[in-house]
Amino acid sequence: MNDFEWQSNTRVYWRQDETTGVADTIISICDIDFVYSYEFLGVRERLAITPLTNRCYITLSQALGMCYGGAPAGPAGTGKTETTKDLACTLGIWCVVFNCSPEFKFRNTAKIFKGLCAAGVWGCFDEFNRISLPTLSVVAAQVESITLGKKLKQKMFEFPGFGMVVLKLNVAYFITMNPGYAGRQELPENLKVLFRGVTMMLPDRQVIMKVKLASMGYTNYEPLSIKFNVLYKLCEMQLSKTRHYDFGLRNILSVLRTTGTNKRAEKEGTDEEMIVARTLRDMNMSKFIA
């Protein structure tokens, strides 16, 4: 029970409180327990869990346990926003994604934070470091006031410049960043300390391919995922760095969705390798230049 390999997994328990006698669904990640929020989010696709996803889950849950925000950072297409949304889905919480831009002013962020606190939902601020530095300095004070309110378990708290605001304790905020891109700001130190960083690298694509192919009804998913992965690695290595060539995660997922559609459209007993090969040809041949 105390083995880290076991504890690091996302575990679901049905527990009864000894004092009140009320039973509830508890989601445990390492030593942090979350009460399931029972928000109906519809039937949606879930992420294939890779070692990177697991590490991100652990870091974000530890940040939430300490009443801080999470800050996944890394190149495009590594699953920063998707992992945050999937963790919210695991805990049964609605996650609202905001795409940040230099036009964001502190009044805009204040309205968003007030809404998140009152509703008790998660906010994910995409490309947060595009916001201008003067605005980020005010945002630091706004986030700090929410963090303090959560630590003191208050029902109402003083929001800078807007008086008393309702606070539901399962509110959380996450920022995703692409470091090193043109026009991106370095976050102020007083804002950095309120978020726990997670470095997102390229995930294990073969795991994703294998799980997705299996979920679409392919019986030969293991060898097909290896061939798919090797083909895309070779394409990345051998082909020129032309702008429209994309052999990243986004392209892989769109190909996988089409392979699922083609599998359902074909007759029973059609060769699976042929379906995948044909889909890969149709979706990539048109991109290739002479």
125-175 per-position pLDDT tens digit:
998 888 888 888 889 999 999 999 999 988 888 888 778 888 998 999 999
Q: CB under 8 Å to 245, separation ≥6 — which residues?
A: 235, 239, 287
**188, 189, 194, 199 alpha-carbon torsion, rounded to 10°:** 90
Q: How confident is residue 182, by pLDDT bands cut at 50, 70 and 90?
A: low
Whole-number pLDDT of residue 43 = 83
pLDDT at 180 over 70: no
Q: Closest by alpha carbon to 95, among 65, 73, 64?
A: 64
Q: How confident is residue 183, by pLDDT bands cut at 50, 70 and 90?
A: low
Rounded CA separation 231/236 (Å): 9
Q: Which domains does the chain possess?
A: 48-199 (3.40.50.300), 205-287 (1.10.8.710)
Residue type, 192: K
Top pLDDT among 42 and 289 is at 42
Rounded CA separation 273/201 (Å): 30
Overall size of the chain counted in residues: 290
Whole-number pLDDT of residue 218 = 87
Q: How confident is residue 195, by pLDDT bands cut at 50, 70 and 90?
A: very high
